[in-house]
Amino acid sequence: MPATAQDVTGITRTDQLPWDLRRHRKNMIAGANVPTRDLRGLADAGDSLAAFNFAKEIEAMGDPALLPDALHYYSIAVHHGRDFALPRLLRLLKITGKDLSPGRLANVRLAIERAARRGDARAARALSRMLTAGTPFGPDPVAAREWLQTVAAAGDGAAALDLALLWMRPAPGLPADTAKARAALELAAASDNLSARATAENLLRQLPAPNPEDPSQ
């Protein structure tokens, strides 16, 4: 049975592998060709680089029916720190998300969340977009804002701007909040992202002056 992101701890050294897989990992690290069967064996043993490479091989087969399998192995790679696999994961999730089993969808979400907790702004912004849109994970406007807040507070201007725009409009069970929108815009305006800074400064000028008697401002 293939590994999942949760049930493997991740391989960081060749001596963590069974003897029959060690040679294949050494060959992979050296850039030598590794047969697909052995690459899958490494991936299922928890080798995140092998999971990434195996996912690429699955994609290269050109069979749309296999894309959920490629997504699965990209999620293992991302879960264990191969954040360069994240763009491929997000692209395939957009294509295949509606067709995934609940278990696989949960594994993919876990991998993206783990990348976001490591500070990957791409992961946090992607989670926010998906949780705002309600697909494929279902709607969660509170979590959508929380993920953006995490990376916005760390200085990501684009995330701060996204957060401000979310707070400017109500969501189900969550009213608009001018004060929180202003705080997010101030983060964006103080960031190194020139585009986010310019947009934030323009929006700040358009906001009404704060009213100390109105907690929403």
Residue pLDDT, tens place only, 44-95: 988 899 999 999 999 999 999 999 999 999 999 999 999 999 999 999 999 9
- Sketch the domain layout of the chain as residue ranges: 1-118, 121-207
Q: Answer whether 178's CB lies under 8 Å from 188's CB.
A: no
Q: Which pair of tokens denotes residue 189?
A: 């305006």
Residue with tokens 């109500």: 170
Does residue 3 have a pLDDT over 60? no
Assign 112 to helix, strand or coil: helix
What pLDDT band is residue 136 in, cutting at 50, 70 and 90?
Answer: very high
* 168 closest CA partner among 146, 155, 185: 185
Least confident window among 85-89, 102-106, 197-201, 210-214: 210-214
- Kindly state the tokens that stand for 175: 């009213």
Task: Return the bridge partners of 171, or none.
Answer: 174
Residues 21-29: what's their mean pLDDT? 74
Amino acid at 139: P
Predicted confidence at residue 214, as pLDDT, reads: 60
* Percent of the chain surpassing pLDDT 90: 72
Query: What residues contact 171, with CB distance under 8 A and at least 6 apart?
Result: 132, 141, 144
Q: What pLDDT is recorded for position 14?
A: 61
- Listed residue (55, 33, 36, 44) closest to 11, CA to CA: 44
Number of neighbouring beta carbons within 10 Å of residue 173: 8
What's the pTM value of the predicted model, to 2 decimals?
0.84
Residue 87 structure tokens: 């763009």
